Amino acid sequence: MPRTVRDVVFVDGVRTPFGKAGPKGMYAGTRADDLVIRCIRELLRRHPELPGERVDEVALAATTQIGDQGLTLGRVASLLAGLPKSVPGYSIDRMCAGAMTAVTTVAGGIAMGALDVAIAGGVEHMGRHPMGEGVDPNPRIIAEKLVDPSALVMGQTAENLHDRFPELTRERSDAFALGSQQKYAKAMADGKIQADLVTVATRSQELGWGLASADEPPRPNTTLDDLANLKTPFRPHGRITAGNAAGLNDGATASIIAAEDTATELGLPIGMRLVGYAFTGVEPEVMGYGPVPSTEKALRRSGLSIDDIGLFELNEAFAVQVLAFLDHFGIADDDSRVNPWGGAIAIGHPLASSGVRLMTQLSRHFAERPDVRYGLTAMCIGIGMGGTVIWENPNYTGAAA
C-alpha cells in the first residue's frame, strides 16, 4: 500500500514549575511520576476535543530510569493519568534531549501513518535520582582511551569548551547568564511564562501541604558582581560557576503531537509545524559543542540556512555552550531572537524534560510573532551529542516591513 508522508504538528505543551533539587527543594516529597502525570492530565483538561482513545502513544523520557522514574514510565503514567488502558506507552533516554527525542520519535510514527496523535514529554527528579545513580560505566571507556575522564562530568566538559575557544571568556558567560535572569524576570512580569505552567500539590514533613505555582530556581536580583564572585567547582580558577550554568532541578513536561490532518479533524490548535530535525555526535569531552553540527545537519536536510531562522530556543545547560553556538553562526551574544524569555540558567534544566519546555516556549513566541516563519530548538546532550528541531510558524503572514 503506497504511503504518503504526513505533516506533523505541535499542538500544545505544558510543564510543571521547575524546582531546586535536594531536600529543601519544593518537590523533595513529591514523586517523579506524579509530576509528569499532572502534565498529561492538564493537557487533556485543556483539550477536551481530544478523546483519550484517540491518543495512540505516550512517550516519556527520563535520564535516570530507576525508582519512580522507571517501570516503562510512558505506560504507567498513561494509566495513572486516566487514559484508556488501550493506550500504549514507553520510555526514552537520550539524557538531556530525552523529551526532544520523545517528540521526534513519535513524529516519525505520525509522519509514516502508524500514529495519529501522541503525547510526548519527560521528567527528571534530580533530587531523588542524581544523574548517574545506579549506572556502571564500562571501564574500557577510560582504559582504552575512548574518552577523556572529563567526558563523564558535564561541568568539566564545559571547562574544556572554554579551553578550546579562549574567546568564550568567563566574563562573556557571566554576562549571558545575567541576561537570561533578566529576560526571564521581565517575561514573568509581563505574564508570558504563566500559560506554560500547571500547578502541583506538594508535601513537606516540615511545612505540610503546599502548591507549586512558580519556578523555584530564578534569581532575578543577580548582578555581574555576584556572578564574578562565585567559585569554580570543576577546576581551580576555572570559568564554570553555579551562576553561568543551569542548576540541578526537578520538573516535568508533556506535549500533544499530531498529524496535521488529524488535528484539523479534531479541532485541535496547531502551534507549530515540524520542518525537520537532526541529532549528531561530537567528542564527548566537548559535549556542549553538539548543537553546532546538529543544527548544520538539520538546516541542510531541510533546505534552509541559518538566516531563515527567526527565533532560537537554545537550552542553556552552560552559558559557554550557547556562546559557542552563537559564535559559530555569527549571532551576537545579546541577539533578541535568542531565548527571548530567558533560558535554563534562570528557569532550570531538569534534564530529560527540557526539550519540550523549549518547544512549548517557541510555540508561544510563534503565536505572538506572525512575522517569523521558522524557529528552532536545540540542545547539547551528555556523552557528546547535539540535537536540533526546526519548526514552522502556522501563523506566518509575511516578514515585517
Confirm if 235 and 156 have CB atoms less than 8 A apart. yes
Q: Say what percent of the chain tops pLDDT 90.
A: 94
Tell me, yes or no, if 380 is annotated catalytic.
Answer: yes
Q: Report how far residue 133's alpha carbon sits from residue 351's, in angstroms, rounded to the nearest whole number.
A: 14
Q: Which of 125, 129, 162, 349 is catalytic?
A: 349
pLDDT of residue 56: 98
Confidence of residue 206 (pLDDT cuts 50, 70, 90): confident
Confidence of residue 208 (pLDDT cuts 50, 70, 90): confident
Confidence of residue 401 (pLDDT cuts 50, 70, 90): low
pLDDT of residue 399: 74
Tell me, yes or no, if 349 is annotated catalytic.
Answer: yes
> Which grid cell sits at 339?
531565548
Pairing of strands 309-314, 374-381: parallel
**Mean per-residue pLDDT for 293-314?**
98
pLDDT digits (tens, 9 = 90+) for 23-53: 999 999 999 999 999 999 999 999 999 999 9
pLDDT of residue 345: 98
Q: Report how far residue 401's alpha carbon sits from residue 394's, in angstroms, rounded to the nearest whole number.
A: 19
∠ CA 392-398-401 to the nearest 5 degrees? Answer: 135
pLDDT of residue 4: 86
Q: Say what percent of the chain tops pLDDT 70.
A: 99
**Mean per-residue pLDDT for 356-370?**
98
Confirm if 98 and 352 have CB atoms less than 8 A apart. yes
pLDDT of residue 53: 98
In sequence order, which ranges of 153-259 are alpha helices (DSSP H)? 154-164, 170-189, 224-228
**Mean per-residue pLDDT for 173-185?**
98
pLDDT of residue 170: 97
pLDDT digits (tens, 9 = 90+) for 117-175: 999 999 999 999 998 898 898 999 989 989 999 998 999 999 999 999 999 999 999 99
Question: If you count them, how many residues does the chain have?
Answer: 401
- Rounded to the nearest integer, the mean pLDDT of the chain is 96
280-306 exposure pattern, b = at least 16 Cβ within 10 A, e = fewer: bebebbbbbbbbbbbbbbbbeebebee
Three-state DSSP at 87 gives: coil
Three-state DSSP at 255 gives: strand
Confidence of residue 3 (pLDDT cuts 50, 70, 90): confident
Q: Which of 96, 129, 162, 365 is catalytic?
A: 96
* Spatial CA neighbour of 389 closest among 282, 302, 262, 268: 302
What's CA 93's distance to the chain center, in Å?
A: 13
**Mean per-residue pLDDT for 63-72?**
94
pLDDT of residue 207: 79
**Mean per-residue pLDDT for 339-356?**
98
pLDDT of residue 219: 96
pLDDT digits (tens, 9 = 90+) for 252-271: 999 999 999 999 999 999 99
pLDDT of residue 265: 98
Q: Which helix (H) or strand (E) holds 142?
A: helix 140-143
Q: Which of 39, 125, 365, 380 is catalytic?
A: 380
Tell me, yes or no, if 39 is annotated catalytic.
Answer: no
| 359: pLDDT strictly greater than 80 | yes
